[in-house]
Amino acid sequence: MPSEPKAPSGHNVRSAKTREQLLEATIEVIGSVGYEAASTRILAKAANTNLSAIPYHFGGKKELYLAAAQMIADYARSRFEEVGALLDECADADPRRRFEDALTHLLHIVLESVEPHSWTSFFARCTYDDDEAFELIHKEAIKPLVDRLALAAREMSRPGARDGEIQLRVSAIVTAIMSFRFLGGIVRRSIDWDEVKGEHVAQFEAIVRALCRSNFLADFNIEQYK
């Protein structure tokens, strides 16, 4: 008979917990003060663990930073795959409609804000710094999303439309949608919203749908729905 899998040892459980604490503390601290100001001593203290735990589990501060970015990239990729799934299902459906639905679903993902605020701060900082952490997140989560949307746009484009132009316009739309997470305060303060509520989400969605049907995507041959 096959042997039953062994339960994880106490050491392994503690080791996994320490590693998780370090990752969460790194996201929290770097999201607050930035990479340069986040010393290994500060990170270890925030994780409530010994300083030696960082080289033991990750090798050093940079490796810990990139491991934290990897955790966010893995999560973001799993959420963005929902967008790709909308483009892939119902192949016989109007491709323009699928493209629009995919973008509005991305909007809902962005506006949900179900992740810890520290994740948003961490991502905003590494995006601003345009460093290796952002390169990792972009390569593994954002670029596949943009590429998939651009492929869908290519299917709807007129003959002769340039791939670079399609990629640029799709990137601009994705950037605009994602900015609601980081720059939502601009919208709220401009129109005196205390917070984004359900009716506001519907208005944001209408904006995205209007953009999809506007002249901005005219080169893709996307027409207004009647």
pLDDT along the chain (226 residues), means of 10: 56 82 96 95 96 95 97 96 86 77 91 87 94 97 94 74 83 88 78 72 83 65 41
**pLDDT value of residue 226:** 38
Residue 226 included in any domain: no
Residue 57 included in any domain: no
Residue 62 included in any domain: no
Residue 117 included in any domain: yes
Residue 55 included in any domain: no
Residue 50 included in any domain: no
**pLDDT value of residue 202:** 83
The domain tally of the chain equals 1
**pLDDT value of residue 225:** 37
Residue 47 included in any domain: no
Give the DSSP letter string of the chain: -PPPPPPPPHHHHHHHHHHHHHHHHHHHHHHHH-TTT--HHHHHHHTTS-TTHHHHHTSSHHHHHHHHHHHHHHHHHHHHHHHHHHHHS-TTS-HHHHHHHHHHHHHHHHHH--S-HHHHHHHHHHHHHT-HHHHHHIIIIIHHHHHHHHHHHHHHSPTT--HHHHHHHHHHHHHHHHHHHHHHHHHHHHTT-SS--HHHHHHHHHHHHHHHTSGGGGGGTPPPP-
**pLDDT value of residue 218:** 54
Domain ranges, residue 109: 68-220
**Taking the model in full, what pTM does it have?**
0.83
Residue 170 included in any domain: yes
CATH code at position 108: 1.10.357.10
